[in-house]
């Protein structure tokens, strides 16, 4: 097409390449719009149309990149020396941009996280809602909100952080996390009874998950060396300055920590109402008062008092 424009329209090579490049961009943009519009109209489930839309965008960009490279390869070869000299300066000026591109490639190829995963990067935790070349978007959890619930804010994390920051994935491969529930009782309480109450509450709330968790961890073990010997809830006992601490430990789904915590505590508190042998502890301050005034006064008085004749006698009283 470039040769035809040169011969029949009278354009220079650069002008013809610009025209062809513009036509290619317009055609690809139109194709992307038609495909995405069709997907959005026919598919209502976001779990289906979202990946289809992203795949369409990647395909259009890839085709456009190869097409433009093919159109301009001869022109670019004429500027090879110039580009070689400018490459170092471009790399320094666009270091963060290039790092984000490399990070995006790593995310797409190695999959440290995907859309809908719950992750934490550089102290920011949230659910992944979008992955783009320059950044990953998270629906934030935690911060001023307790128990990993959403704050409603969207946080954008640079894609290059996968190389420089720690990335924690709550749901990759194994969708469960270990959750601990502390129960502090007084030293006068019966620890065996308190342990039985906490154990029964956890078994009732989370005791139905071990079979499913064990199956999921077997699948995850194909990619990672993960090994757990026990999947059922357990209670551990230790002594603290304020009383006897019983820590319940159980597997919960990453997005159900707060609901599981509430269900367990409701059962524990209901059982403690009718159990006199267990008492929850709370901060207590004890003050010991000693009246030393009497002893001081007694020490100040002489042992014997002199009478009018000069004879001494014991003090009255």
* CB-based burial, 225-237: b 16+ in 10 Å, e otherwise: eeeeeebebebee
Nearest 10 degrees: CA dihedral of 213, 174, 253, 151?
A: 180
- pLDDT tens string 247-296: 999 988 888 888 899 999 999 999 999 899 999 987 767 676 776 665 55
Task: Supply 114's token pair.
Answer: 């995907």
Instruction: Compute the distance between CA of residue 120 and CA of residue 44 in angstroms, rounded to an integer.
Output: 30
Domains of the chain: 2-93 (no CATH), 113-169 (2.30.30.60), 176-273 (3.30.70.100)
For residue 153, the surrounding DSSP H or E stretch is: strand 150-158
**C-beta separation of 126 from 171 below 8 A:** no
Q: Is 154 helix (H, G, I), strand (E, B) or coil?
A: strand
24 backbone dihedrals φ, ψ, rounded to 5°: -60, -45
Looking at the DSSP bridge assignments, the partners of residue 253 are 176
Q: Kindly give the parts of the chain with pLDDT less than 50.
A: 3, 7, 317
Instruction: Compute the distance between CA of residue 169 and CA of residue 117 in angstroms, rounded to an integer.
Output: 7
**DSSP secondary structure, 97-140, as one string:** HHHHHHHHHHHHHH-S--TT-EEEETTEEEEEEEE-SSEEEEEE
In the prediction, which pLDDT does 88 show? 63
Length of the chain in terms of residues written: 317
What pTM did the predictor assign? Answer: 0.64
**DSSP secondary structure, 272-314, as one string:** HHT-TT--B------------HHHHHHHHS-SSEE-TTS-EEP
Nearest 10 degrees: CA dihedral of 74, 79, 85, 91?
A: -50
């Amino acid at each position: 097409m470039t040769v035809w424009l040169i011969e029949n329209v009278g354009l220079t090579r650069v002008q013809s390449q610009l025209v062809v490049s513009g036509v290619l961009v317009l055609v690809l943009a139109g194709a992307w719009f038609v495909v995405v519009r069709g997907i959005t109209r026919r598919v209502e489930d976001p779990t289906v149309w979202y990946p289809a839309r992203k795949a369409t965008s990647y395909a259009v960009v890839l085709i456009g990149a190869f097409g433009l490279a093919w159109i301009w390869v001869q022109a670019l070869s004429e500027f090879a020396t110039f580009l070689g000299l400018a490459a170092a300066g471009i790399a320094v000026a666009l270091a963060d941009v290039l790092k984000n591109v490399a990070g995006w490639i790593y995310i797409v190829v190695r999959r440290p996280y995907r859309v809908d995963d719950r992750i934490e990067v550089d102290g920011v935790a949230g659910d992944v809602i979008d992955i783009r070349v320059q950044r990953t978007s998270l629906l934030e959890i935690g911060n001023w909100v307790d128990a990993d619930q959403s704050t409603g804010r969207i946080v954008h994390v640079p894609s290059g952080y996968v190389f420089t920051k720690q990335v924690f994935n709550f749901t990759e491969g194994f969708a469960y996390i270990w959750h601990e529930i502390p129960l502090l009782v007084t030293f006068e309480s019966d620890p065996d009874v308190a342990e039985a109450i906490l154990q029964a509450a956890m078994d009732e709330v989370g005791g139905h998950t071990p079979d499913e968790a064990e199956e999921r961890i077997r699948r995850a073990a194909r990619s990672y060396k993960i090994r757990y010997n026990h999947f059922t809830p357990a209670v551990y006992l230790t002594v603290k300055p304020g009383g006897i601490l019983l820590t319940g430990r159980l597997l919960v789904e990453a997005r159900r920590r707060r609901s599981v915590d509430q269900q367990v505590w409701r059962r524990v508190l209901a059982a403690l109402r009718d159990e006199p042998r267990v008492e929850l502890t709370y901060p207590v301050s004890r003050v010991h008062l000693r009246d030393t005034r009497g002893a001081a006064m007694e020490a100040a008085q002489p042992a014997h008092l002199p009478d009018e004749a000069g004879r001494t006698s014991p003090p009255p009283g």
